Amino acid sequence: MPAPMFLRGAAPWRNTLSYLESGAIIFRPIVRIFTLNYTFDKPDSDGLRRFIFWHLAQIQYKNPTVQCVQFKNTTPTPFVSFYLSRSSLDNETTTSDNNYEIVHMDCYKKTSNEIHDSIRRVMGKSDLQQRIDSELTARLENPANFGKDCAHYCMCLVYGQMSCSGKKKLPEHLRGKYTRYKMDELEDLRKKVADDDALKDYWKRPF
């Protein structure tokens, strides 16, 4: 039986989920495009070629919004470039050609580890920022959390939940003030409007 497609080729474990998730480079939000320029036949590009072989798949997996482009045998010197979005810094919405700032990083005769560490230090998020982002994402994605920096500030904002009593009063038969202390008034109200009708009217009114 032939091996699955993701288990073929050189170093097939690069396609496993555990290997892709172990990537340490997560670009800053301003990075939009990541380009790599190298050659096949010159030893000056050995480090960048090894970096692409071992780490490019991790970068693409960890940064789905960043476009990664390879340029082969177009320049004699290996280097990588980052296209930074000016609109992220200036809060602009223009889409002109000058809306990107380009940062070049020389990779001439550098090893794969040196290139990896340089990219992570210059354009990657720090360990502290990654931990803060992961905690914030987990807090936003968990529907059981309510409050500041969560998907819902209050439980009443969830569809199907009753509104806060300060914005919309509950029917009298669901309020402790009437069921415990004003039972006589509650009986008089029930003679006018049944509990089921009052509850139906409650759900009809806007929150």
Using pLDDT thresholds of 50, 70 and 90, give the confidence band for residue 90: very low
User: pLDDT digit string (tens) for 169-196?
Assistant: 777 777 777 777 788 887 888 877 787 7
* Per-residue tokens: 9: 């080729």
Report the percentage of the chain scoring pLDDT > 70. 87
The residues with which 192 forms a beta bridge, in sequence order, are none
Q: Is 115 left (phi over 0), alpha (psi -120 to 50) or beta?
A: alpha
Give the pLDDT confidence score for residue 73 in this predicted structure. 92
Would you mind telling me the total number of residues written for the chain in this entry? 207
Q: Residue 136: pLDDT above 50? A: yes
Q: How far apart are CA 19 and CA 140, in angstroms?
A: 26
Q: pLDDT at position 46, please?
A: 94
CA separation, residue 77 to residues 11, 42, 110, 166 (Å): 27, 9, 11, 68
Mean pLDDT of all residues belonging to the chain = 82
Q: Looking at the predicted structure, is the pLDDT value of residue 95 above 60? A: no
Contacts of 36 (CB under 8 A, 6+ apart): 48, 52, 56, 68, 69, 70, 71, 80
Using only the alpha carbons of the chain, give its radius of gyration: 29
pLDDT at 93: 45
End-to-end CA distance of the chain: 61
Would the pLDDT of 21 be above 50? yes
CATH of domain 5-125: 3.40.30.10
> Is residue 91 scored above 90 in pLDDT?
no
- Does residue 144 surpass a pLDDT of 60? yes
Beta bridge partners of 34: 68, 82
- Residue range 9-15: mean pLDDT, rounded: 77
Band the pLDDT of 6: cuts 50, 70, 90: low
Instruction: Report the distance separating Cα 43 and Cα 50, nearest Å.
Output: 11
Per the structure block, which two tokens stand in for 201? 């009217």
Quick one: pLDDT at residue 101?
92
Q: Tell me which of 6-15, 58-67, 68-77, 80-89 is least confident.
A: 6-15
- The pLDDT-based confidence of 156 (bands split at 50, 70, 90) is confident
Strand pairing category for 67-72 and 31-38: parallel
CATH 3.40.30.10 residue ranges for the chain: 5-125
Nearest by Cα to 111 from 54, 61, 35, 41: 54
Per-residue pLDDT of 63-82, as tens digits, reads 999 999 999 999 999 999 99
Tell me whether residue 119 is exposed, middle or buried, using C-beta atoms within 10 angstroms of its C-beta: 0 to 12, 13 to 18, 19 or more. buried
Three-state secondary structure of 28-72:
CCCEEEEEEEECCCCHHHHHHHHHHHHHHHHHHHHCCCCEEEEEE
